[in-house]
Structure 1
Amino acid sequence: MTSELVIDVQQKEISIALLEDKNLVEYQNEPRSASFSVGNIYVAKVKKLMPGLNASFVDVGYERDAFLHYLDLGSQFNSYEKYIKQVQSDRKKLYPFAKAMRLPDLKKDGSVQSELQQGQEVLVQIVKEPISTKGPRLTCELSFAGRYLVLIPFDDKVSVSSKIKSGEERARLKQLIHSIKPKNVGVIVRTVAEGKRVAELDTELKVLMKRWEDAIKKVQETQKRPQLVYEETSRVVAMLRDLFNPSYENIYVNDEEVYKEVKHYVTLIAPEKANIVKLYKGTVPIFDNFNVTKQIKSSFGKIVNYKHGAYLIIEHTEALHVVDVNSGNRTRSNNGQEANALDVNLGAADELARQLRLRDMGGIIVVDFIDMSLAEDRQILYERMCKNMQKDRARHNILPLSKFGLMQITRQRVRPAMDVNVEETCPTCFGKGKIKSSILFTDQLENKIDKLVNKIGIKNFYLHVHPYVAAYINQGIFSLKRKWQMKYGFGVHVVSSQKMAFLQYEFYDSKKEFIDMKEESETM
């Protein structure tokens, strides 16, 4: 299996697509202005105590207060509090972390009122992004994740990933980390550290320690509360950190700045793979070029088709996700209803495992498979689902089919499920149901081009239109495009974009920045 990463950088958002054997398996879309990411650390203020929940609400600058449970204060909460007070007592000289005192562990059966009070400052980290009506979920057990290691201040343990099975390798890594780790920190060794040399691990440990020290410096220097003191690495780099593996063949990026950032990171973690990072310079949109746009439009939405006419219906609710499996207009198997049901269900298990990763669906997922009477067939389906989910990085648990034919799955949820609206609003009538004559559409485009060139003064630009419209504009030796170029200059470029709806258009300048050419009459 080969993996490719395609990164589409736009003016307002960044989209990341992971392809396995050219099939889309993970997709993330994030506004470039997004500030509430999992892993960010804040100095925040306790807003309200909730003794009944044994929790508190904390102000981290989000419109809804974040939730902090007593058990999420962590065993070393008192050590953090004491050290933060020592740091803030002297604004000029930083109190050395090596001299910080580790206090006794927090009691697990304690109450929130005994540890927190309204207005108190706490150092917190986001573990879940805001979802629906809920604010972010917080913890006071801080951690700094790297490619090979996770650093935990005020801990002293060294843990090794349970996925590293070799007892000899586990012992080697533990001994190695104990010999290089500074005082007052714990370390979790990640699976990808297996077989790595001490120099690589030591380099990353120093980088993680520097991040912790920089965060503490920011706590000392700033007085504004709440205050962001550590920002998780960019979405692109964070995804690379968690996903990167030697099977990656290519990483394509369409923005020079992000390309340099990604290239730098890959050079750090795997110098021999630095040449797989490539800058995409084509005129066709990057997602169209790698067939990502088409896969997004066919994979999202309420109904998802898979093999031989069968399909899934996926509904999202506040509490859970519900999936219904339908055989559709599928031709019946010669082996009877039972064999047909098993075949449809196995196909559904393959597609569902992909959908869970693709949409990042978390929480409780209930799947209504087609009823099967044979216990061995139900076991085959359960084993197939478990095998498919092995590729999923998120923690999950799968229960065998109940007597009603339902399968229950729980999957780790740290951010809202990705829900892409694949339905297109008519760009010309805006829901009114009536449009100008479509034969006049190219005349409308020419008026826009004339205004752009002769009134605004932009002579080099790209016009993005639906592939059918692009084919019409480009047809023939003396095409419309050629006539426009003769009349307005050779800076006129027509780009076929699968993202566009029929009779929709967008203008971009030579720097690929969007030019709004819609008039008031068109947007009413």
Structure 2
Amino acid sequence: MQGRVVILGTLSGREAAALMVDGQLEDLLIDTSDTVALAPLAICRGVVDRQMKGQGGVFVRLPNGEKGFLREVKGLRPGQTVVCQVTGGSEAGKAFPVSLRLLFKSRYCIVTPGAPGRNISRRIRDEDIREELSALADATMEGSDMGLIVRSACEGADTTEIAEDIAGMRALAEAVTVDLEGEPELLVDAPTPHEAAWREWADPVPDEVVHGDMEEHGVLEAVEALCQPRVELSGGGHMMIEPTRALIAIDVNTGNDTSPAASLKANIAAARDLPRQLRLRGLGGQLVVDFAPMPKKDRAVLEQQLRGAFKGEAAETSLAGWTPLGNYELQRKRDRIALTSLMEAP
């Protein structure tokens, strides 16, 4: 299956969407409504609870008795009502990470309350189109102090449709941000997988959108592989990805290749595939990579590959560097629910 193909269907009885690029699973979205109370991107009215001294944040009471943890504490007081957004997944018994920096995302735009400014996606390079979209954005957002990001999917789209989309997101943002009266409540639910696929995978335009069986298109086989720690790498090497309570441990091995360049080749292959593996597996937090042994002079080449691999990732990632023991540390934002927990849930 060549090209960029979006598959809309179900996986283990849940609504799911898969993005295949040249026959390889590139992204996967699964409905989490039966597993967690609040999915990432849900917007809630919450009530500030007690401050956690030494932890740099406060707990927030959320709908249905859930708890959120908010790091933006300046100017907040216990009992204050806030509108916050869930920013990532949470393990059982832990608070949901939330933020006061709201993002109202649609297919063509992102409205950003509290972050003024008009921005056109850098992927739109035609100056005439950029000027037209800039004028459209200014006209649609006139009188608002909210920020706006015009997304790359706007290139080639109908201007009337874009204007209606921006106006709709603006109206929603204005209504939600002033809804501060009352007990904790879910104000805007997270998008379903099919909605998110339509919104997030519009650019580049898919070669085909398929409604059907995930197994028929190889998605089920790919998911089964993702639930295993071993990842086969090009060139005969492999890496093991094993989450623990404290961190995610990754071990890179050369396999049967005993040539002088085997370690560097395996390490580069692991670095290139690591962002995709973490995204599909829904893994984040602290990561420690035990790369295959190689001379220190090759570290600069490997670091360049890592930076390039993570450059286009939506999840914020910090490449911390090498430890005294020769491991490589990085931190990735937990922006999804772990795939294994979804597949294990009844």
Q: Deviations over 1:198-256 (max 9, x none)?
A: 43431211221343366479x49xx8622222223322212331222234122222xxx
Quote the residue 1:517 is aligned against.
Answer: none
Percent identity (aligned)? 24
Quote the Cα distance in structure 2 between the aligned partners of 1:409 and 1:171. 39
Quote the Cα distance in structure 2 between the aligned partners of 1:382 and 1:146. 35
Give yes or no for the alignment of 1:332 onto 2:258. Answer: yes
Measure how far apart 1:133 and its partner are: 3.9
SS in 2 for 1:128: coil
Q: Deviations over 1:269-314 (max 9, x none)?
A: xxxxxxxxxxx3xxxxx23211222222233322223345432122
Select which of 288, 291, 294 maps to 2:218.
291
Task: Figure out how many residues of one structure are paired with residues of the other and give that number.
Answer: 341
Distance 1:364 1:213, change over 3 A: same
CA contact (8 A) 2:83 2:177 kept: no
CA contact (8 A) 1:149 1:187 kept: yes
Quote the residue 2:137 is aligned against.
Answer: 177
CA contact (8 A) 2:226 2:281 kept: no
Quote the residue 1:69 is aligned against.
Answer: 71
Distance 1:368 1:227, change over 3 A: same
CA contact (8 A) 1:45 1:225 kept: yes
Q: Deviations over 1:99-126 (max 9, x none)?
A: xxxxxxxxxxx553xxx233x3332222
Q: Deviations over 1:11-50 (max 9, x none)?
A: 8522332211111222333345454122222223333344
The answer for unaligned runs of 5 or more in structure 1 is 72-109, 254-279, 281-285, 424-524
Q: Deviations over 1:452-480 (max 9, x none)?
A: xxxxxxxxxxxxxxxxxxxxxxxxxxxxx
Paired AA for residue 37 in structure 1 = A
SS in 1 for 2:209: strand
Select which of 42, 45, 52 maps to 1:43.
45
CA contact (8 A) 1:396 1:409 kept: yes
Paired AA for residue 61 in structure 1 = P
Quote the Cα distance in structure 1 between the aligned partners of 2:227 and 2:187. 37
Which protein is richer in helix relative to its size?
Answer: 1
Distance 1:236 1:390, change over 3 A: same
**Alignment map for 1:164-203 (pairs within 5 Å):** 173-184=133-144, 185-194=146-155, 198-203=159-164
Distance 1:410 1:162, change over 3 A: farther
SS in 2 for 1:206: helix
Quote the residue 1:342 is aligned against.
Answer: 264
Distance 1:247 1:390, change over 3 A: farther
SS in 2 for 1:413: coil
CA contact (8 A) 2:267 2:292 kept: yes
Measure how far apart 1:145 and its partner are: 0.9
Select which of 313, 318, 326 maps to 1:392.
313
Indicate the structure whose relative CO is greater, using CA pairs within 8 Å and at least 6 residues apart.
Answer: 2
**Alignment map for 1:112-151 (pairs within 5 Å):** 112=76, 116-118=77-79, 120-151=80-111
Paired AA for residue 315 in structure 1 = E
Distance 1:169 1:412, change over 3 A: farther
Distance 1:231 1:326, change over 3 A: same
Measure how far apart 1:135 and its partner are: 1.2
CA contact (8 A) 1:12 1:31 kept: no
**Alignment map for 1:483-502 (pairs within 5 Å):** none
SS in 1 for 2:307: helix
Select which of 136, 140, 165 maps to 1:204.
165
Give yes or no for the alignment of 1:412 onto 2:333. Answer: yes
CA contact (8 A) 2:88 2:337 kept: no
Measure how far apart 1:391 and its partner are: 4.7
Quote the Cα distance in structure 2 between the aligned partners of 1:248 and 1:195. 14
CA contact (8 A) 1:301 1:419 kept: no
Select which of 225, 235, 242 maps to 2:183.
225
Select which of 277, 295, 300 maps to 1:373.
295
Quote the Cα distance in structure 1 between the aligned partners of 2:16 and 2:281. 13
Distance 1:420 1:346, change over 3 A: farther
**Alignment map for 1:301-340 (pairs within 5 Å):** 301-307=228-234, 309-328=236-255, 330-333=256-259, 338-340=260-262
Give yes or no for the alignment of 1:157 onto 2:117. Answer: yes
Q: Deviations over 1:117-166 (max 9, x none)?
A: 33x33322222332354211223333311122112346643234455567
Paired AA for residue 224 in structure 2 = K
Quote the Cα distance in structure 1 between the aligned partners of 2:173 and 2:321. 44
CA RMSD of aligned residues (A): 3.4
**Alignment map for 1:443-462 (pairs within 5 Å):** none
Quote the Cα distance in structure 2 between the aligned partners of 1:252 and 1:197. 24
Query: What TM-score do you get using the length of structure 2 for normalisation?
Result: 0.82
Quote the Cα distance in structure 1 between the aligned partners of 2:68 and 2:235. 47
Measure how far apart 1:168 and its partner are: 7.2
Quote the Cα distance in structure 2 between the aligned partners of 1:51 and 1:395. 26
The answer for unaligned runs of 5 or more in structure 2 is none
CA contact (8 A) 1:131 1:415 kept: no
CA contact (8 A) 1:14 1:32 kept: no
Quote the Cα distance in structure 1 between the aligned partners of 2:52 and 2:323. 38
Quote the Cα distance in structure 2 between the aligned partners of 1:228 and 1:420. 24
Give yes or no for the alignment of 1:19 onto 2:30. Answer: no
Quote the Cα distance in structure 2 between the aligned partners of 1:300 and 1:228. 32
SS in 2 for 1:364: strand
Query: What TM-score do you get using the length of structure 1 for normalisation?
Result: 0.57
Which protein is richer in strand relative to its size?
Answer: 2
User: Which of 1 and 2 has greater Rg?
Assistant: 1
Quote the Cα distance in structure 2 between the aligned partners of 1:365 and 1:166. 39
Distance 1:214 1:380, change over 3 A: same
Paired AA for residue 282 in structure 2 = D
